[in-house]
Amino acid sequence: MTSADARTVIGVRTPSAEYEVEIGAGLVELVGARLDALLGGGLKAGKQRAFVVTSPEIDRLWGGKLEGGFPAPLTRLMVPAGEEHKRLATVERLTEELAGLGADRDSVLVALGGGVIGDMTGFVAAMYMRGIRYVGVPTTALAQVDSSLGGKTGVNLAAGKNLVGAFHHPLAVYADIRTLGTLPAEELRAGLQESVKAGIIRDRGLFEFLESESAAVLSGDAEALTRVVAASVRVKAEVVSADEREGGLRMILNLGHTLGHAIEAATGYKQLLHGEAVAWGMVAAVGIAKRRGTVTSEEAERMERVIRAYGPLRGFTAEASELVALTAKDKKNRSGARSFVLPVGIGDAVVVKDVGEAELMVAASAIVGEARGVGA
């Protein structure tokens, strides 16, 4: 990549779907033309309709630019911002609205927003009329580097995160780097924790870039961010292409998520952003790996230093015993055994099923104790 204006296209190839993720600046205005080409001119001919699912805040920033690239006015379906709205009740409302607007099996949804919007839009697309198409236009770092591709869609239950969902891949994903410039600093940092994760589990070069160029990345430098997003997407695309349905390899993408999801559930999704919770979960996982000797002390210190560089890690209030209990409800568990991702070096990770409650209590107690001493 030679400039911030360059665009990168990464293919995702799975047994059930093939699509492309395009990354670069100035993509929002091009989505309409790109989508119409994918549909064979159906939008321009008036034979097919596009419906945008977004939040009021994102619509004010980017809705007009998106609509300007479409051949006809867009119908918007609004979802309030916040993880608390990622529930089945919202899915029911959206599908009722689609039905009332006359959406049919040839209609296409456009997910304009962050991870919550993307997960819900994909799930609505999977459920409505037993499956319609959708494209992703992720506007947050978290969505661009991770949640917008891979086909995992869903919503939360009171019992845990993403416990209801479906595998349903998008037609395409368009990640416009400019949208990251409108994010609050804490959201950019939280989203980039998923890139740190990608570096730890699969891409040593990405990890080292995040380590050495943190100032450029965190300042919002477009070229640095484009490189980070593209490398993160490549990691996920490679893993998903090899293991579409999370039968084995794909589970490494969950580094930090087992305790991260438990933290979110224990705090009612109100104290931390998703990436912040994952960061705490990664600190705990690195600690377990260090105690087990699967990583050296030097590697563990480097990993933790980079995780914290993309912080600061905000505090939260929870009991270690509650976090451990919640990990037993994690959707990745099989036959009653906890599945847990541990690094085995910078750029490599494994899934283990022998992390017991006592070992988890040590790790959870360490982060809970530290979090209590940190201002939220």
Q: Does residue 304 share a domain with residue 242?
A: yes
- Indicate which residue of 227, 261, 290, 338 is catalytic: 261
Place of tokens 């541990």: 342
Q: pLDDT tens, 235-254?
A: 999 999 888 877 788 899 99
Asked about 246 being catalytic, the answer comes back as yes
Q: How confident is the model at residue 2 (pLDDT cuts 50, 70, 90)?
A: very low
pLDDT for 5 equals: 58
Assigned domain for 265 exists: yes
Q: pLDDT tens, 83-99?
A: 889 999 999 999 999 99
pLDDT for 243 equals: 86
- Indicate which residue of 7, 202, 257, 314 is catalytic: 257
Assigned domain for 128 exists: yes
| pLDDT value at 170 more than 90 | yes
Q: Does residue 307 share a domain with residue 176?
A: no
Q: pLDDT tens, 314-326?
A: 999 999 999 999 9
* pTM of the model as a whole: 0.91
Assigned domain for 39 exists: yes
- Indicate which residue of 22, 189, 254, 302 is catalytic: 254
| pLDDT value at 129 more than 70 | yes
Q: Does residue 167 share a domain with residue 238?
A: no
Assigned domain for 178 exists: yes
CATH number for 277: 1.20.1090.10
Q: Does residue 110 share a domain with residue 25?
A: yes
Q: Does residue 122 share a domain with residue 15?
A: yes
Q: Does residue 153 share a domain with residue 265?
A: no
Boundaries of domain holding 125: 8-182
Of the residues 182, 209, 239, the one at which a domain ends? 182
Q: Residues 97-107: what's their mean pLDDT?
A: 97
CATH number for 158: 3.40.50.1970
Asked about 254 being catalytic, the answer comes back as yes
Mean pLDDT for the chain overall? 93
| pLDDT value at 288 more than 80 | yes
pLDDT for 332 equals: 57
pLDDT for 4 equals: 45
Q: Residues 75-85: what's their mean pLDDT?
A: 93
| pLDDT value at 376 more than 80 | no
pLDDT for 375 equals: 62
Asked about 130 being catalytic, the answer comes back as yes
Assigned domain for 84 exists: yes
Q: Residues 76-87: what's their mean pLDDT?
A: 93
| pLDDT value at 231 more than 60 | yes
- Indicate which residue of 65, 250, 290, 302 is catalytic: 250
- Indicate which residue of 7, 86, 133, 152 is catalytic: 152
Q: Residues 259-276: what's their mean pLDDT?
A: 93
- Indicate which residue of 20, 244, 246, 299 is catalytic: 246
Assigned domain for 335 exists: yes
Q: How confident is the model at residue 335 (pLDDT cuts 50, 70, 90)?
A: very low
Of the residues 148, 182, 216, the one at which a domain ends? 182
Q: Does residue 154 share a domain with residue 35?
A: yes
Asked about 236 being catalytic, the answer comes back as yes
| Nearest of 171, 179, 143 to residue 65 by alpha carbon | 179
Q: Does residue 174 share a domain with residue 38?
A: yes
- Indicate which residue of 236, 290, 302, 314 is catalytic: 236
| Nearest of 89, 96, 87, 101 to residue 51 by alpha carbon | 101
| pLDDT value at 353 more than 60 | yes
Q: Residues 143-150: what's their mean pLDDT?
A: 92
Bridge-based pairing state of the strands 75-78 and 50-54: parallel
What percent of the chain stands above pLDDT 70? 96
Place of tokens 């960061």: 279
Q: Does residue 63 share a domain with residue 127?
A: yes
Partners of 8 in the β-ladder: 23
Q: pLDDT tens, 180-205?
A: 999 999 999 999 999 999 999 999 99
- Indicate which residue of 194, 244, 264, 299 is catalytic: 194
Assigned domain for 341 exists: yes
- Indicate which residue of 274, 302, 314, 338 is catalytic: 274
Q: For residues 359 and 320, is the Cβ–Cβ distance under 8 A?
A: no
Count of domains forming the chain: 2
Interacting residues of 40 by C-beta distance below 8 A, sequence separation 6+? none
Q: Does residue 232 share a domain with residue 172?
A: no
Q: Does residue 243 share a domain with residue 159?
A: no
Q: Residues 289-310: what's their mean pLDDT?
A: 97
Assigned domain for 193 exists: no
Asked about 152 being catalytic, the answer comes back as yes
Q: Does residue 151 share a domain with residue 19?
A: yes
